Amino acid sequence: MTASYASLGVTPIINVDARMTFLGGSLMPPEVLAAMLAAAETYVDVFELQARAGAHLAAITRNEAAYVCTGAAAGMALCTLAARTGTNLADIARLPLAPDCPSEIIAHRAHRVPYSRAIELAGTTLVEVGDAIRTEPFELEAAFGPRTAGVLYVAGQHLSRAALPLDQVVEIADRFGVPVFVDAAAQLPPVDNLWRFTEQGAAAAIFSGGKDLCGPQSSGLIVGTTDFLAGVVANGAPHQRIARAMKVGKEEIMGLVAAVERYLAIDHEQRYQECGAIVDRWVAGLAHLPGVEATRNEINSAGQPMPRVMLRLHDRDVASLRAAMRGRTPSIAIGRHDSTTCSLTPECLADPAEADTVLTALLDELGGGRS
């Protein structure tokens, strides 16, 4: 018997929530699966594979250098290691304590996300600047000191209100000779974000392979300058150094290469239109229901230009609707925007036909079960 979700008794889910790791991130298209399968059938020198995959990914994403890692959180840890040690092997040998190496990463308080803790894996602490309302340039300037290793910038429209713009952060960090690296894990689309942050002067930008790129779930892409990425390579697998705990396999490397090639080739405008058409159908289908307000929103939960439905519930609890949808057959994961509003995102659907299944289930829950 072949192992399957069914053989383990694990329930398949239709995902209209978001590209969440706890829901499986994204689904790999055939060209990504084919690249992984082919990679699994042959031995190669993984140092050579990393170098050639990195050079190719750099060229197609308009960057100086690139590196495939196991995910954006691992990429943050690797960039922190690179910011601390560069390519200095004596320093790398002393990690994670490395008392002579700088040990602080500066970040906006407004950029604090659960993933920020990944930098602590590299033996550093986070120095927070600004507050939830605003950040002043002098606050950032005052945070630099002899222990500063780098600046972490978390990209995203939804996190930008109280933060300084990236180019200003880079300009200030440059004066102190400190690299800025960008957590851009979920900042695709638009596709040109693959080069936007590095063009603005960031030493590196980090993307999840398992979100909109639809690469392997345990993959990530770091793009950046030749200098900074040399430090990532020196710390990363296949070396038997501290970051070996985050090693990426040959299958993930090739899967991510195929995923980035595909992402650069697909028609993003057409995809936007297709997702928009599903959103319009959902809005129209839900419009007549009493006690709900369905509206089209042009921005998804990660702040990306991708349409979704905001479903405001006047007399039904968001948590109970989400639980009821998850409990159905097939099970459906819908998003929670806030205490009164759910969200429905078409971009994660395995098949456009699932859009009708979702609408039928919602009509049943919201129309049928009410007194």
Ligand X SMILES: *Cc1c(COP(=O)(O)O)cnc(C)c1O
The count of residues interacting with ligand X (CB under 6 A) is 13
CB-nearer residue toward ligand X: 20 or 34: 20
Q: Helices 30-39 and 250-265 meet at what angle, rounded to 10? A: 150
148 neighbors 102 (Cβ within 8 angstroms): yes
Two tokens, residue 56: 């190719």
CB of 121 to ligand X, least distance (A): 12
Under rule CB under 6 A, residue 255 binds ligand X = no
Least distance in angstroms from the C-beta of 200 to ligand X: 18
Residue 182 sits in the site that holds ligand X (CB under 6 A): no
Q: Is residue 186 within the footprint of ligand X (CB under 6 A)?
A: yes
**Which CB atom, from 15 or from 208, has the smaller least distance to ligand X?**
208
Contacts of 85 (CB under 8 A, 6+ apart): 91, 92, 95, 98, 101, 231, 234, 235
Distance (Å, whole) CA 3 – CA 75: 31
| Residue whose CB is less far from ligand X, 24 or 137 | 24
Out of 13, 49, 53, 72, name the contact with ligand X by CB under 6 A. 72
Of these, 65, 66, 73, 107, which contacts ligand X (CB under 6 A)? 73
176 is a site residue for ligand X (CB under 6 A): no
| Separation between Cα atoms, residue 120 and residue 76, nearest integer Å | 10
113 lies in the site for ligand X, by CB under 6 A = yes
Output b/e per residue, 112-134; b: 16+ Cβ within 10 A: beebbebbebbbbebbbbbeeee
- Of residues 203 through 222, those in contact with ligand X by CB under 6 A are 208, 210, 220
Among 78, 119, 185, 309, binds ligand X (CB under 6 A): 185
Does residue 80 bind ligand X (CB under 6 A)? no
In angstroms, give the least distance from the CB of 122 to ligand X.
15
Q: How far is the CB of 285 from ligand X (least distance, A)?
A: 30
Of 24 and 367, which has the nearer Cβ to ligand X? 24
Contacts 24+ apart (CB under 8 A), 330-334: 330/12, 330/13, 330/14, 330/357, 331/11, 331/12, 331/13, 331/14, 332/13, 332/14, 332/16, 332/357, 332/358, 332/361, 333/13, 333/14, 333/15, 333/16, 333/17, 333/23, 334/16, 334/17, 334/358
Closest CB to ligand X among residues 103, 304: 304
- Residue ranges in contact with ligand X by CB under 6 A: 21, 71-73, 113, 115, 154, 183, 185-186, 208, 210, 220
